[in-house]
Amino acid sequence: KLIHYETKKTVAFSRGHGEMSEYYLMDFILGLRDFYEVEGVEIGNNLDVLNQNTACLVIAKPDSAFSDASKFIIDQYIMRGGTVLWLLDMVQSNMDSLRTSNYTLGLPFDLNLYDQLFRYGVRINPTLIQDAQCAPIPIQTGNYGNQNKQEFLPWYYYPVIIPKEKHPIVRNLNAIRLQFANTLDTIQTPGVSKTILLTTSELTKVLYAPMRIALNIIEQEPTAEHFNKPNQPVAVLLEGTFRSAFENKIVELSNRPVEKASKSTKMIVVGDGDIAKNLYNPQQENYVPLGLDPRTGIYYGGNKNFLLNAVNYLTSDSWFIPLRSKEFRIRLLDRPRIATEKDKWKIVNTVLPVAWVLLFGLVYNYIRKRRFA
């Protein structure tokens, strides 16, 4: 353990809206337990489920709509100074479908949070990002004897984010892998400052749902002509005094007066729920560390550290962040440069060795003839 409090703060994970199972959040949860008490809370009609003991609420990849009662409970928690880490997907997509078919569909779905987030100053768009700076996935490319031949090819829907901002949450972080991420827009709201934490690379493409997700995109080279939406925001920090999403609404859920403006507080919104997902094997009852891709062996260490930094910052425990800010950073290959220069290097790597051998042979024979003439 890194720290021992007499009374630890509590981090709560919301339940009741199809949020990601704790098995797939295990590595994140275990990391939090070094600093906090962690619990799941059913956000239904109980107005007191989120109280002053809840230092941070994490909403991780829900897949069903929030009722007005649930939204009101979260809103009033924020008005009382509560902090929230939103990890949300606005497009439903499924890689499992691609195992049996060459394509699947990306469909928008409504969590009924649009108006609430808009009120706080951010909008998650029903989009999917393609990024030339991305993680590879195994693709069957043919057969080798009686066995399938697999290659690891870039999957543009899995952006790999190299944090560029100087904010303490993301400073010196390693690479972060996202999966089917959405773009964010910030809305001008008085009293609330916005800090973009994570953005995509210079070669980014944005697609609006509904859309067809096909495996054949791996055959396309990312060009500036088509990947022409650079540096798309995918995570943002909001700080300040928020106005209630229920300020001008009639609320029949409670006899208490509605808190219409928050104390000074903060929240972080990420347009991807899978940023927190570790793989889990139910047969062996064990999990793969968050950020590790067991198929390629690549470890995206930024995922877990970003999430822990985010919670530390939201709970005013920022002094823990430097403890994990010094680490080796993955240096990714420059895929656009590879695409433009690959023919040159193919020639260099195939023609030059042969030329050297021929030159050596000519020189050797010339010297040999001179010596024995």
Maximal C-alpha separation, the chain: 112
Name the residue with higher pLDDT: 43 or 332: 43
Interval 340-351 mean pLDDT? 57
Name the residue with higher pLDDT: 147 or 94: 94
The pLDDT assigned to 146 comes to 72
Name the residue with higher pLDDT: 114 or 52: 114
The pLDDT assigned to 97 comes to 82
Mean pLDDT comparison of 47-51, 83-87, 357-361, highest-scoring range: 83-87
pLDDT digits (tens, 9 = 90+) for 169-202: 999 999 999 999 999 999 999 999 999 999 999 9
Interval 39-54 mean pLDDT? 90
The pLDDT assigned to 283 comes to 85
pTM (2 d.p.): 0.85
Distance CA 159, CA 136 (A): 10
Q: Return the beta strands (E) in the chain as ranges.
A: 10-15, 37-42, 54-60, 84-87, 91-92, 103-108, 122-124, 127-131, 134-144, 147-161, 176-177, 184-186, 192-199, 204-208, 211-214, 233-240, 265-270, 280-281, 286-287
Interval 61-66 mean pLDDT? 97
Least confident of 22-31, 87-96, 202-211, 304-313: 87-96
pLDDT digits (tens, 9 = 90+) for 280-305: 998 888 999 999 999 999 999 999 99
Nearest C-alpha neighbor of 320 from the set 329, 308, 328: 308
pLDDT category at 257 given cuts 50, 70, 90 is confident
Tokens of 132: 């030339």
CB 71 within 8 A of CB 113: yes
Beta strand pairing call for 211-214 and 103-108:
antiparallel
Name the residue with higher pLDDT: 245 or 340: 245
**pLDDT above 70 for 5:** no
Q: Give the containing element (helix H, strand E) for 31.
A: helix 26-32
**pLDDT above 50 for 328:** no
pLDDT digits (tens, 9 = 90+) for 199-222: 999 999 999 999 999 999 999 999
Least confident of 42-51, 125-134, 304-313: 42-51
pLDDT category at 356 given cuts 50, 70, 90 is low
Distance CA 126, CA 208 (A): 6
Interval 100-120 mean pLDDT? 94
